[in-house]
Amino acid sequence: MSASAEDAPETGAAPPPPSTAPASEGPEPAAAEVKVDVSASTDAAPPVETEKTIDRKVGPQDPNTPPGYAQGFHFGSYGRVVAGGDATGRPMRNADIVAFGSRLDESTYAELEVRREDYWEATDSYTRMVMTLAMANPVFHYTGNFDATMAIRNLYIEAADIGLKGLRVWMGSRMYRGDDIYVLNFWPLDNLNTVGGGLGYYFGRTAIKLHAGLNQPHSGWFKQTIDRPLLNNQLGSAEVALLDRQKVISSLKVEHVVPVGQSGGVKGTAYGELHYTGAGQREVRDQIYEDLPADKGFVAGGQVSAFTGKRSTYATLVARYARGLAAYGEFNAPVQLALDRTSKGAHELLVSLAGNYEAGPFGVMLGSYYRIFRNASPALDYRDLNEGILLLRPQIWLGKRRFAGIALEGSYQAQQRGSTSIADDGTTTPLFAQVGRFGIIPFLTPGGQGAFTRPHFQLIYLLTARDAAARSLYAVDDVYARRGIDHFIGMTAEWWFGSTSYFRD
């Protein structure tokens, strides 16, 4: 059996740090603080099955089907290029207040994937080397700067069927994640970016995946280099890494698919992570040292997806609980700590519901979640929050060949912060911010109908309404602090094809 379009999609590329960021990181409000916009996302369609055999033929030509194993070099890509701005001519900018909101005003991002795939007759196994080069905004034609913001998002090799049919082994640097919510550009259950390795074993309709990796977020909580004199009567100094600790992240995922009907099914996923970093010491002032204790955390979660197997119709429910170090997300250093200088007590609870339904020329996409985050410091403060979003995107494909269409997108998002404001009359009220968004998106779709058919050529009008509390999330004189209503007008080209990042197991 060849891997099909409905194989378990592990899509996108974002490392979404779902917690907090130091105030010094910039003027963006809370929602923006927790977003690192290097993301992409594609088809969130659920799997039909996880029984894996290798397609030894050249991969299909349809760019909306996943690549199979085939000898030789291969190329894939995800990309979106966005042009637009607000009604006054200012550049586009994400206007969500929640961590993961509408993707319509996400900025330009692209990935170029190069693979080398081989069949090894001696062992009847396969290997696949993947290198993914990612580029983020701004692009040359916008600034004129001959420069680019780039990252290697994948650099690993995987062997399949080695020693045991269904066994996969990989090592390297890898985006390692599960299903996303396309309309929110969000991976609610698992989304890891580490350097390490993993095992996967696929049998029947069940898959077990084990992984362990390392990363070192760019933070003085993990690494500090300081100047120190040289010995042996040498002149000058050398940089010494006084604090240099890594985060160890391991994960275990068990998936099982129960077929329902001719093409549908239900996929259940149980998921867990363990996070750990060792003790260290850093210099707080010249030769004054501070001990940092070891820290740890965990994630426990699960997912249930029901799908028809036809026209990407599915619904996915995710629940996820993270505690301690893991509550801050994989690439964040914990801040606002417990009194013992650890992340003990920090936690995040997330429940999400997403789906897609298509019938005839109509379709509707759903993305929603509710999230609670508490940092490790005992009292409620500004960076403790409850937030949620409900987003619907109905769309219609037009014409006999359905090469065009119109989508509408409406969302409501709200966020409560762990702080209060005092009104002139002396009453104290919790900070509760609300934003409503409504968009009209006419599009061209050369691949025809389908919520996850790409490429797309989109024109976008997106209205954003924010209340006074939402405006208060931004700094004084920020236009978002001044405006209750915003208009985004733009165009977006989006594609994906032949990339293991989006059609992977």
Partner 1 sequence: MTARPPKAAALALASFASLAALGGGGCMHFEAFDEPIQLQTHVSDWRDEVIYQILVDRFADGDDGNNYNLDLTANARYHGGDWKGIEDNLDYLEELGVTTLWISPVVKNVETDANFDGYHGYWAQDFTETNPHFGDIIALRSLVDAAHERDMKIIIDIVTNHVGQAFFYDINNNGVPDILIQGDGSNGKSEVKHVTEYDPDFDSRGIQAFTSLGEAGPAPIIFQYDPASNHIPPYPEIFSKAITYNRKGRTFNFDIPDQLLHGDFPGGLKDIDTTRCDVKREFVDVYARWIELTDADGYRIDTIKHVEYEFWRYFTQRLRQRLAKSGKKNFLMFGEAFDGNDALVGSFTRKDFYNHWTPDKLESAEALARDAECGGDGPPLTGDMLDSVFYFPQHYQAFGDVIRNGAGSQKLADLWASRTTNYGNEPIEGGIGIAPTKAQINFIDNHDVARFLFWLQNEPDAVKYPLLHNALFLLLTMDGIPCIYYGTEQDFDGGNDPSNRENLWSTDFDTSGTTFRLTQRLIRLRRAYQALRKGDTRVVWATENTGAESDAGIFAWERFGGDAGENYALMIMNNNRTNPASPEYMGARMQLAVAPGTVLVDVLSADKTQYTVEGDGGLGIVLPPITRALLIPAGAVVDGL
Residues 356-385 that bind partner 1 (CB under 8 A): 372, 374-381, 383-384
- Given 321, 412, 457, 461, the residue binding partner 1 (CB under 8 A): 321
* Count of residues that interact with partner 1, criterion CB under 8 A: 56
Query: Taking Cα atoms as reference points, which of 480, 505, 396 lies closest to residue 442?
Result: 396
Q: From CA 154, how far away is CA 500, in angstroms rounded?
A: 10
**Nearest distance in Å: CB 318, partner 1:** 8
**Nearest distance in Å: CB 299, partner 1:** 11
Tokens representing residue 135 in the block: 């580029």
Q: Is 479 in the site for partner 1 (CB under 8 A)?
A: no
- Given 83, 167, 306, 406, the residue binding partner 1 (CB under 8 A): 306
Q: Is 454 in the site for partner 1 (CB under 8 A)?
A: no
Q: Is 268 in the site for partner 1 (CB under 8 A)?
A: yes
Question: For 210, what's the count of Cα atoms within 13 Å in the CB-facing half-sphere?
Answer: 4
C-alpha pair distances (Å), 219 with each of 22, 113, 443: 11, 29, 42
Using the contact rule CB under 8 A, the part of the chain among 51-59, 80-88, 228-236, 415-423 near partner 1 is 415-423
Phi, psi of 30, deg, nearest 5: -55, -45
**Nearest distance in Å: CB 430, partner 1:** 6
- Given 2, 219, 386, 434, the residue binding partner 1 (CB under 8 A): 386
Q: From CA 136, how far away is CA 245, in angstroms rounded?
A: 28
Q: How many angstroms separate the first and last alpha carbons of the chain? A: 15
**Nearest distance in Å: CB 181, partner 1:** 16
- The answer to whether 298 and 347 have CB atoms below 8 angstroms apart is no
Q: Is 336 in the site for partner 1 (CB under 8 A)?
A: yes
Q: In the chain, what are the helix, strand and coil shares in percent, each to the nearest 5?
A: 5, 55, 40
- Given 292, 325, 337, 389, the residue binding partner 1 (CB under 8 A): 337
Handedness of CA 217, 218, 222, 228 (dihedral sign): positive
Q: Is 261 in the site for partner 1 (CB under 8 A)?
A: yes
- Given 317, 459, 465, 493, the residue binding partner 1 (CB under 8 A): 317
Using the contact rule CB under 8 A, the part of the chain among 5-13, 83-91, 210-218, 345-353 near partner 1 is 345-353
233 membership: H or E segment, kind and range: none
CA Rg value for the chain: 24
**Nearest distance in Å: CB 116, partner 1:** 37
Q: Is 149 in the site for partner 1 (CB under 8 A)?
A: no
- The answer to whether 163 and 122 have CB atoms below 8 angstroms apart is no
**Nearest distance in Å: CB 255, partner 1:** 10
Task: Kindly give, in sequence order, each residue whose CB lies less than 8 Å from that of residue 234, ignoring residues fewer than 6 positions away.
Answer: none
Length reported for the chain? 505
Residues forming the site for partner 1 (CB under 8 A): 23, 256, 258-262, 264, 266, 268-270, 284-285, 288, 300-304, 306, 317, 319-321, 336-339, 341, 347, 349, 351, 372, 374-381, 383-384, 386, 416, 418-420, 422, 426-428, 430, 475-476
